[in-house]
Homo-oligomer: A and B are copies of this chain.
């Protein structure tokens, strides 16, 4: 099959055999999205070597004998695969299993390929009402839903989402399903204009510089400076949600977090079932975030676009 291969920060298109792991399903990838984490992996984050890609929708082609009912179904898949035996797997699922693999991120082939192997226990069937172009967003929508599991948010909670990129605009829409006061803070006029068409309130950093008054600030900037900006906007005893996985060390002034007794919450993967419900009822508009669809051999243009634009998808069909 065709697949993108990352090694030492270089991406190449390769023709390689597909390997369905024992006891797992083979999913033929229909659409797969580029996320900020992929761009970090390309820069060497986590020493990644292999096929990246973890946001995808596809159709199950093969399954082990106990899971044949999945064959032919249109699916998305949660990305953490645990050992199933440790205290972490038993208590709260595979997300923090010490020996977990993660699709396209950690010791497991990803979805920038024609096929990907995942256990049936990670699959979620996509309802008919959700198109492929929407379903490919389930993983980032789930990551946004994770915030609602970690942080108390009510209708009156004042929320700022820092970052007008693909993840910021998803997070803002998910938090808006609960809070009446969600502000997207960004620097890109085009992206802020799009946010406005989604009905989101927007501001530039300069416009809200004096308002250290937000109950919850989500750093989805993908930049090392995002945390300093978040600490400048959050109220005393407020919450900053960390969503920017930055490779390496960054210069951070953490004393404001102590002086103002801020709580910082690291937030990663989230619930797929909740994300599917949000997409099915149309609470989160994701199709407007698609900036382009590329074929795998156009990967240099695709990654270049992903660095500047919103969601870039690969199609392998």
Contact = CB atoms under 8 A, between A and B. Distances in A.
Interface in A206-257: 227, 236-237, 242-255, 257
Interface string A250-281: 11111101111111111110000000000000
A9 to B, nearest CB: 17
A249 B266 CA distance: 20
Contact of A248 (B88, B249, B253, B258): B253
Nearest to A240: B264
SS of A interface (majority): mixed
A154 interface: no
Contact of A242 (B227, B246, B257): B257
A88 B236 contact: yes
A28 B273 CA distance: 65
Q: Which 10 A-B pairs have the closest CB atoms?
A: A96-B236, A257-B266, A264-B264, A258-B266, A249-B251, A249-B253, A261-B266, A252-B252, A262-B266, A245-B255
A150 interface: yes
9 contacts: A244-B258, A249-B253, A250-B251, A250-B252, A252-B252, A254-B266, A258-B268, A259-B266, A259-B268
Contacts of A266: 254, 257-264
A215 to B, nearest CB: 13
Interface string A47-84: 00000000000000000000000000000000000000
Most chain B CB neighbours (cut-off 10 Å) among A88, A247, A264? A264
A50 to B, nearest CB: 18
A250 B251 CA distance: 5
Contacts of A248: 253
A185 to B, nearest CB: 19
Contact of A96 (B237, B255, B257): B237
Contacts of A247: 255
Nearest to A263: B265
A242 B245 CA distance: 20
A252 B226 CA distance: 13
Contacts of A263: 263-266
A246 B255 CA distance: 6
Contact of A261 (B150, B249, B250): B150
A108 B90 CA distance: 54
A259 B236 contact: no
A109 B268 CA distance: 45
Contact of A252 (B88, B92, B249, B260): B249
Contacts of A254: 227, 242, 246, 250, 252, 266
Contacts of A244: 258
